[in-house]
Structure 1
Amino acid sequence: MELNEVHKFLSNKKNIARLFKQNGSSYCEKLIARFNDVNEKIKETEQLRLTEEKEKQDKLKKVSEYMLSIGLKPNDLLKIRKEPKEPKIKYQYIDENNNQLTWSGRGKMPFWLSKQLEQGKSLDDFLAN
């Protein structure tokens, strides 16, 4: 049963009365207890979320106040973003005519180099550094 259908069913007093008559009061009391348990857990979760959000806001306010006290503005933090470092390349291979056909040794081997290796040459013949 979809949530919308459950809502429609429980919103109708006749449906609740029928459920009560068919299953008895103890069954309905168990259902009410389950609803109350779920409702309490939802309230606890929401209260926890609100508490965490308030603590976060308090921390942000303290940090912001401290930054202002030492002459920094919160936007100054955006300026210190670290740029990702380029990975260091240990080896670089260059074609036999010193053309700009290079390969770092990573990824798929280029066609020009695989052809040379098929002809019996070695990678060391093309090592640039």
Structure 2
Amino acid sequence: MNELIKTLLNLRSLRAFARDLTMEQLEEAYGKFTTVIEERREEEAKIREEQAEKEAQLAAIAKQITEQGLDVNELISALSSNKPAKTQAKRQPRPAKYKYTDASGQEKTWTGQGRTPAAIQEALNNGQSLEDFAI
């Protein structure tokens, strides 16, 4: 795509490219380019019109605020306080499912999630079952 852009934007490259095309192909490309350009102009005009309309609405609202004698900071705080605070509920810790004794002799628990503790994994490798450690 980058080569296409370079060819289209460089007059010398475009002339060299056009030598390989027939006049009908060039006229067809010209018509399509004209259509695309007109569509883009219409889209950009519509966007500018919508932006101008939005700015006019904001100006009208600002005028109403000043006519009513409202303080902008109070209005902002009133609008922001209406939104419910999005708080994410903290998940409760999972209860322990398994109890085991580690290599240092301390008794520990495991919820069954995450990596299997080394002491339990060693026992499983030696033929014990996970149910042997159940609480």
TM-score in terms of structure 1 length: 0.58
Where 2:85 maps in the other structure, the secondary structure is coil
Matched residue, 2:63: 65
Distance 2:47 2:10 in 1: 33
Shift of residue 75 of structure 1?
3.4
Is the contact made by 1:64 and 1:74 (CA closer than 8 Å) also made in structure 2?
no
* RMSD, aligned α-carbons: 3.1
**Matching residue within 30, 37, 40 for 1:39:** 37
Q: Which 5+ residue runs of structure 2 have no aligned equivalent?
A: 99-108, 110-133
- Matched residues, percent identical? 21
Alignment of 1:1-129 (within 5 A): 1-2=1-2, 5-80=3-78, 81-82=80-81, 84=85, 107-111=91-95
- Aligned residues between the structures: 98
Per chain length, whose mean CA-contact separation is higher, i.e. which structure has more relative contact order (CA < 8 Å, sep 6+)? 1
TM-score using structure 2 length: 0.56
How many Å apart are 1:11 and its aligned residue? 4.0
Point out the more displaced range, 16-25 or 63-72.
16-25
Shift of 1:34: 1.4
